[in-house]
Chain A
Amino acid sequence: DDESNDKDEL
């Protein structure tokens, strides 16, 4: 979902 996707960058 969007909530977890938004912290996939370093």
Chain B
Amino acid sequence: MNIFRLAGDMVHLLSFVVLVLKINATKSCRGISLKTQELYTLVFVCRYLDLFSNFISMYNTTMKIVFLGTSFAILYLMRGHKVIKVTYDREQDTFRYLFLVLPCALLALLIHNAWTPFEVVWTFSIYLEAVAILPQLVLLQRTQNIDNLTGNYVFLLGLYRGLYILNWIYRYFTEPHYIQWIVWISGIVQTILYLDFFYYYIKSWKNNVKLALPS
């Protein structure tokens, strides 16, 4: 494991902490897209199907369980918690799941490394993760007065993907036969989706003004 990979995972973990903190501290999930959270949960469920059948390391297994557990906990807070669920921006969070799930499923059926159920579902999770942030970005654009924690949450998610790209570059040069086209291209697409957000996030941070995305 290299430093970029570890930093990427820690930033990803931190993004969950920030999100749970925001929801719990403010008792509100305003500005958070339930659709993105549901898509991420689907991503983790599909990707970690081999959780108990393919042991890689304690680190790997622990992180997978934490990601899955936190994702379901966030879904519970947003859908089941009686105080928090009423703060959900249902009317604004209108992105259609099918526009993301269907193309990713078709692409996974067409482009994958092996024609096995596990491999196709795993590939689907890679494609879906790349675009799962879109409902959240659309909701941010519609949200007036984005709070700091929500902005930081999305920034950390983007930063995690950026660090993974550095990890892949490092691994490509240090490990023999390390070629992962599906993961790389999806990861690059995923990172590109954040570029516009990064621009406004850094601008608001430099000018010390509240984050607002132009609609």
- Report A's interface with B, CB cutoff 8 A: 2, 4-10
Contact = CB atoms under 8 A, between A and B. Distances in A.
Is the contact region of chain A dominated by helix, strand, or loop, or is it mixed? Answer: loop
A4 B9 contact: no
Interface of B: 5, 9, 12, 50, 54, 56-57, 60, 63-64, 67, 113, 122, 164, 167, 177-178, 180, 183
Contacts, number: 23
Is the contact region of chain B dominated by helix, strand, or loop, or is it mixed? Answer: helix
A4 B12 CA distance: 23
Nearest to A8: B56
Contacts of A5: 178
A3 to B, nearest CB: 9
Contact of A10 (B9, B50, B178): B9
